[in-house]
Chains A and B, each alone.
Chain A
Amino acid sequence: DADVTQTPRNRITKTGKRIMLECSQTKGHDRMYWYRQDPGLGLRLIYYSFDVKDINKGEISDGYSVSRQAQAKFSLSLESAIPNQTALYFCATSDRPNGHEQFFGPGTRLTVL
């Protein structure tokens, strides 16, 4: 019974294609985040949203866009995928009273050829 789900779990695409990664949560949290993980680099923040009308760029937002369709849904788009966007992508949530602890989805492994 996953609280934070991500779809797809794996995706292989070609350079120049538009890709959307989706995240849904049943935790009722206001805050949602997108990270990418690369070997040896840890997690880097792409975008975050503290509520439905709030979208903020993170450390590495170039080449990405997001949409917060509802409190429970936060999508990440790659408008024109390039090979160096090959990575493991994680969605995370946190709640207002305890906003520092994050809850992660299982990840999406994206390969751009």
Chain B
Amino acid sequence: AQSVTQLGSHVSVSEGALVLLRCNYSSSVPPYLFWYVQYPNQGLQLLLKYTSAATLVKGINGFEAEFKKSETSFHLTKPSAHMSDAAEYFCAVSKGGSYIPTFGRGTSLIVHP
């Protein structure tokens, strides 16, 4: 079975500050890992994905995530938050052959001026 834990349902940062959204996973086999972003009144869109290539994955809008197998983590970071980053972020895991992802409960990123 696979599962995803996102630590913190809400994260609040000031504009220009570091963004860190945490995701830990459990999977019996090497996983595929994803971060999706959901802007208000929209569907989810892919931010970045890890598929067993480089452990540091760069995504859109300046976000990146690092796969750490020893820590079973895939935390999302951005060096400098922008007001437009305010959204809901979802971490997801799936495993080879399944094609059925498991999503975390989401983290709402709040960016203060």
Binds A, one of B41-49, B55-63, B78-86: B41-49
Within 78-95 of A, Cβ neighbours of B (below 8 Å) are at 90, 92, 94
A99 at the interface (CB under 8 A from B): yes
A90 near B99: Cβ-Cβ < 8 Å: no
Q: For this complex, into which size category does the number of interface residues on chain A fall?
A: 20 to 34
B34 near A100: Cβ-Cβ < 8 Å: yes
A107 near B43: Cβ-Cβ < 8 Å: yes
A102 near B101: Cβ-Cβ < 8 Å: yes
Give A106 to B32 CA distance when docked, in angstroms. 24
A74 at the interface (CB under 8 A from B): no
Chain A interface residues (CB < 8 Å from chain B)? 4, 31, 40-45, 48, 50, 58, 90, 92, 94, 99-107
If A50-B99, A107-B42 are given as contacts, then 17 extra A-B residue pairs at C-beta distance below 8 Å, sorted by A number, are A4-B43, A40-B105, A42-B103, A42-B106, A43-B90, A45-B100, A48-B100, A100-B49, A100-B51, A100-B94, A101-B34, A102-B101, A103-B46, A104-B44, A105-B43, A106-B42, A107-B41
